[in-house]
A and B are shown apart, each in its own frame.
Chain A
Amino acid sequence: MIRTVSALALAFCLWGSALAAPAADTVMRSANLRPASGSPEAGLWQASDEAETYARQSADLDSDPVLGAYVRNLICKLAPEYCGELRILVMTRPVLNATAAPNGYVEVYSGLMLRSRTESELAYVLGHEISHFARNHALAQWQRNKTRGNVTLAIQVGVSVVAIAAMASVANSGDFYAPNKIDYIGDAAQTLSDLAYIHGLATYFAYSREDESEADRLGQIRAHGVGYDPWAAPAIWQSVGAEVRASEYPEVRKSLARATIFDTHPLTEDRIEALKRAAGSTPHQTAEESRAEEQAYRAIIRPHLAVWLRDDLRRRDLGQSLHLISRLEAVGEDLGLLAYYRGEAYRQRHRDGDLSSALAAYRLSITHADAPAEAWRELGEAESRAGNAPAAIRALETYLTRAPGSEDRWLIESELETLKASHS
Chain B
Amino acid sequence: MRKLFTILALSLILTGCASSGLIPAGKISLGEGHGMMTQGSWSDVTYAERRYTRAVQVLSRDGPLLNQIILVRGLDAGKGLLRPADRTQPVPIFRADQTGREQVELVVETLSELGYRQVRFAQLRPASFGPDKAIRFDLTARTEDGLNLSGIAQAARVKGELYLVIFIAPSEHYFPTLKAEVEAMMNSAH
Are A381 and B99 interface neighbours, CB within 8 A? yes
Is A181 interfacial (CB 8 A cutoff)?
Answer: yes
Residue of B nearest to A311 (CB): B112
Report the Cα distance A170→B112, complex, angstroms: 35
B15 smallest CB distance to A (angstroms): 5
**Among the listed B11, B99, B123, which residue makes an inter-chain contact with A188, where contact means beta carbons less than 8 Å apart?**
B11
Task: List B contacts of A57 (CB < 8 A).
Answer: 145-146
Are A59 and B144 interface neighbours, CB within 8 A? yes
Report the Cα distance A325→B14, complex, angstroms: 43
Residue of B nearest to A253 (CB): B88
Task: List B contacts of A415 (CB < 8 A).
Answer: 99-100
Task: List A contacts of B15 (CB < 8 A).
Answer: 170, 180-181, 184-185
Are A166 and B12 interface neighbours, CB within 8 A? yes
Are A184 and B18 interface neighbours, CB within 8 A? yes
Task: List B contacts of A411 (CB < 8 A).
Answer: 100-101, 104, 124, 135
Task: List B contacts of A381 (CB < 8 A).
Answer: 99, 101
Task: List B contacts of A316 (CB < 8 A).
Answer: 89-92
Are B143 and A162 interface neighbours, CB within 8 A? no
A interface SS class: helix
Most buried by A among B88, B91, B117, B144: B88
Task: List A contacts of B159 (CB < 8 A).
Answer: none
A154-169 CB contacts (< 8 Å) to partner B: 155, 158-159, 162-163, 166
Are B21 and A180 interface neighbours, CB within 8 A? yes
Report the Cα distance A185→B4, complex, angstroms: 13
Task: List B contacts of A187 (CB < 8 A).
Answer: 48
A381-421 CB contacts (< 8 Å) to partner B: 381, 385, 407-412, 414-415
Is A277 interfacial (CB 8 A cutoff)?
Answer: no
Residue of A nearest to B108 (CB): A314
Task: List B contacts of A350 (CB < 8 A).
Answer: 95
Are B1 and A158 interface neighbours, CB within 8 A? yes
A377 smallest CB distance to B (angstroms): 8
Is B184 interfacial (CB 8 A cutoff)?
Answer: no
Is A189 interfacial (CB 8 A cutoff)?
Answer: yes
Are A59 and B88 interface neighbours, CB within 8 A? no
**Among the listed B87, B97, B125, B137, which residue makes an inter-chain contact with A385, where contact means beta carbons less than 8 Å apart?**
B97
Are B122 and A184 interface neighbours, CB within 8 A? no
A163-195 CB contacts (< 8 Å) to partner B: 163, 166, 170, 177, 180-181, 183-185, 187-189, 192
B1-33 CB contacts (< 8 Å) to partner A: 1, 4-5, 7-8, 11-12, 15, 18, 20-21
List 27 A-B residue pairs with CB atoms under 8 Å apart, sorted by A's residue number. A54-B145, A58-B145, A59-B118, A59-B143, A162-B4, A166-B8, A166-B12, A180-B15, A180-B20, A184-B11, A184-B15, A184-B47, A192-B8, A252-B88, A259-B88, A316-B90, A350-B95, A385-B97, A407-B124, A408-B121, A408-B124, A410-B125, A410-B126, A411-B101, A412-B101, A414-B100, A415-B100
Q: Which residues of B contact A (CB under 8 A)?
A: 1, 4-5, 7-8, 11-12, 15, 18, 20-21, 47-48, 87-92, 95, 97, 99-101, 104, 109, 112, 117-118, 121-126, 135, 137, 142-146
Q: Which 4 A-B pairs have the closest CB atoms?
A: A59-B117, A180-B20, A59-B142, A188-B11
Beyond known contacts A170-B12, A251-B87: 9 more, CB 8 A cutoff? A59-B118, A177-B20, A184-B15, A184-B47, A185-B12, A350-B95, A408-B121, A411-B135, A415-B99
